[in-house]
A and B are shown apart, each in its own frame.
Chain A
Amino acid sequence: MKTIQKKICLLGDFSVGKSSLVRQFVEGEFSDDYLSTIGVKISRKPVELPENQVKMNLLIWDLAGGDDYSKVTSGYLAGAAGVVMVCDVTRKSTLSMVKVYSNQLNKIGKVGIPAVLLVNKFDLQDDREIEDEQIENISAELQCPWHFSSAKTGEGVEAGFASLANLISSKSKTT
């Protein structure tokens, strides 16, 4: 099985759970404490893609969310093969931020970069503010698949990252 290394970036508003998603995906752990990320934290995780006969070492860039998105996206996205957009199912405004990040990607020439949308904190769906229809609309507009995820329970986390890895692998084959 061929081994390749790819850089992916997590983008999304502050406190949507980007760092928790990475922690759950890489270490299988979760903490309820909220610690804001500044700058970038890089983690590594190998993913096997039997369908594509590839083992992909993912270098996961967990980027700070919030007001500094323009600085972050333009500076840190060089060489990224894919992005995970994250929003919080309990905060409607975070879905709008996904669009802002997507526009930012287009501005810096990353049009058509493989992307998945993770609608996180699905374990808190009783406090849900985002409807399926709204997610479908954004997902169609950005042309990226989406998954519900919960960094707390682990639901949808592996599937989300694997889905992006497969998209990257398929794109690598065709280019």
Chain B
Amino acid sequence: MPSNQSFLSSESRAFELLSNRIGVVYINSDQIIESTQGIAQDLSLDRETNIVSQPLTESFIELFGFEDTIDSILNGELPYLELQEVNRENESGGIDYFDFSIYPADDKESSNGLVLLIENITNRGKLMQSTVQQRNELKLAQQELSQANAELHSLNELKSIFLSMAAHDLRSPLSVITTYSDLMMTHKGDLNEGPFKPRYVFSRILEQSIWLNSLIDDILNLNMIEQGQFPIHTEKIDIQLPLIEVANQFRQVLNNRNISLKLNVEQNPIWVMADANRIKQIAFNLIGNSAKFLGDSGEIEVSVVADPDENKVDLLFADDGPGIPEKQQEQLFQLFYRTPGASKFSGTGLGLYIVKTITERHEGTISVFSKEKEGTTFKISLPISTKE
């Protein structure tokens, strides 16, 4: 059993330990500080100035705004006030945590004064902070995971739709090619005297072959893009040449439909570091799209406009087709996206996604300008080569 002397010394040690963790502020009924103990003075707003005789809410800004609540405690209407986990930045830039509580100074119905207790709970606070931090990070990770999951799910659904569309789209041109070839093979006598002129039949076969070829290209390209292996072999080329080549190919087909294809190119070469085959792919997709939506008549205009001041060249693909509603324009370049109006035409929703990918791989930008019933223009801007 400890002697009286050692007990008293333990008691004073305990008081000393408490004083390092707890601050006590005695407040009169006018909310003025009467006296302080422990760490209270050090935690006041101006720790260098004695806070005795100062208004409580001026010395502890945490209590600003609680004047009415404090009055209610003085009047016995409220038993106490607690503010938990008040953060204070310490001298080393870390955070210390404190609990603030205000109680009546006595147990009478209406109190003459109040006691503010400030407890340093930093160790507990740090533990709680770390728990909350882990919980929040886990929640964020869960949210990201469920979002990624939803995106994967929707991509999977789109892929299924795409596969069924692709199967259908591959079959349509093949059946046209088969029918016309069969017609030519089985026709007896002079072909020029049959129901279909050979030139018309071959142009239909060519048209469907081009479409079939571009569809297979798109599917192969998508596969490469998804695997991160979409090669671009750039060299210094006159950007107008691949466009002229594609336009000439299309002209043969479009001549049989009442669609005119106008090509505006400049006399001098415009040098761009580009992959000619990929640029042809862009032109194929964009001219092909216009031709598809124009139906039996209309105009397609392809223009090349160099802007040496801005060090760029714009490739413009314009048509006077049905146009695209503004709300749908933002989604045009998304994988598998097809406008509601496109559902009556064959297509996979790959073309514009691939066009955008190719453009960006050339450090270019693509934009669309369209107005319903007036037409659509796609603008591809590419940097002009400054290499000698």
Interface residues of A (CB under 8 A from B): 5, 7, 14-15, 34-42, 44, 59, 64, 66, 75-76, 78-80, 91, 93
Contact = CB atoms under 8 A, between A and B. Distances in A.
Given A14-B139, A15-B140, A42-B62, A76 B132 contact: no
B195 interface: no
Given A15-B136, A66-B132, A78-B69, A39 B85 contact: yes
A37 B128 CA distance: 10
Query: Which of A38, A40, A42 has the largest count of B CB atoms less than 10 A from its CB?
Result: A38
Interface in B89-132: 95, 97, 125, 128-129, 132
Nearest to A44: B61
A39 B135 CA distance: 15
B77 interface: no
A60 to B, nearest CB: 10
Contacts of A5: 64
B61 A36 contact: no
Contacts of B128: 38
A40 B86 CA distance: 5
A15 B140 CA distance: 8
Contact of B87 (A15, A34, A41, A59): A41
B61 A59 contact: yes
Interface size class of B (residues with CB under 8 A): 20 to 34
Contact of B137 (A34, A75, A78): A34
A132 B97 CA distance: 39
Nearest to A81: B65
B133 A79 contact: no
A42 B83 contact: no
A80 B64 CA distance: 9
Contact of B64 (A7, A35, A36): A7
A91 B143 contact: yes
B65 A42 contact: no
A75 B82 contact: yes
Contacts of A44: 61
A93 B87 CA distance: 27
B334 interface: no
Query: Which of B69, B84, B135 has the largest count of A CB atoms less than 10 A from its CB?
Result: B84
Nearest to A76: B83
Contacts of B86: 39-42
Which 8 A-B residue pairings sit nearest by Cβ, starting from the closest? A79-B65, A39-B85, A41-B87, A7-B65, A36-B133, A36-B132, A14-B136, A36-B136
